[in-house]
Amino acid sequence: MKPTLLVLAAGMGSRYGGLKQMDGLGPHEETIIDYSIYDAVHAGFGKVVYIVREYFLEDMKALVARKYAGVKCVDGSPLEFVFVTQELNKIPAGIPVNPDREKPWGTAHAVLMAKDVIHEPFAVINGDDYYGRDSFYVLADWCRAHEHSKGQYCIVGFELDNTLSENGSVSRGICYYDAKQNLTGIAEHLDIAKEADGKVYGNNSVNGATHVELDSKALCSMNMWGFTPDYFTASEECFKGFLKDYGMELKKEFYIPFVVDVMIKSGKASCEVLSSPSRWFGVTYKEDRPGVVAKFAELVKEGVYPSPLY
What is the CATH class of 4-301? alpha beta
Question: What is the residue-wise DSSP string for 16-67?
Answer: TTB-GGG---STTS--HHHHHHHHHHHHT--EEEEEE-GGGHHHHHHHHHHH
Tell me the three state secondary structure of residue 214: strand
> CB neighbours of 252 closer than 8 A, spacing ≥ 6?
246
Tell me the three state secondary structure of residue 109: helix
> CB neighbours of 196 closer than 8 A, spacing ≥ 6?
none
Helix (H) or strand (E) holding 246: helix 231-246
Q: In a structure prediction context, what are the per-residue pLDDT tens digits for the chain, which is 310 residues long?
A: 899 999 998 864 433 344 555 678 888 989 898 999 999 999 999 999 999 888 888 888 887 888 898 899 999 999 999 999 999 889 888 899 999 998 899 999 999 999 999 999 999 999 889 999 999 999 999 999 999 999 999 999 999 998 988 888 889 999 999 999 999 999 889 999 999 898 999 998 778 888 989 999 999 999 999 999 999 999 999 999 999 999 999 989 999 999 999 999 999 999 999 999 888 988 877 888 899 999 999 999 999 999 998 8
CA dist., res. 256 & res. 236, Å (int): 12
CA dist., res. 182 & res. 112, Å (int): 23
How many beta carbons lie within 10 A of that of residue 156, not counting itself?
A: 29
Largest CA distance in the chain: 56
CA dist., res. 310 & res. 304, Å (int): 14
* Residue 5, φ and ψ in degrees, nearest 5: -105, 120
Query: What residue ranges do the domains of the chain occupy?
Result: 4-301
Cα–Cα nearest to 249, from 87, 106, 68:
106
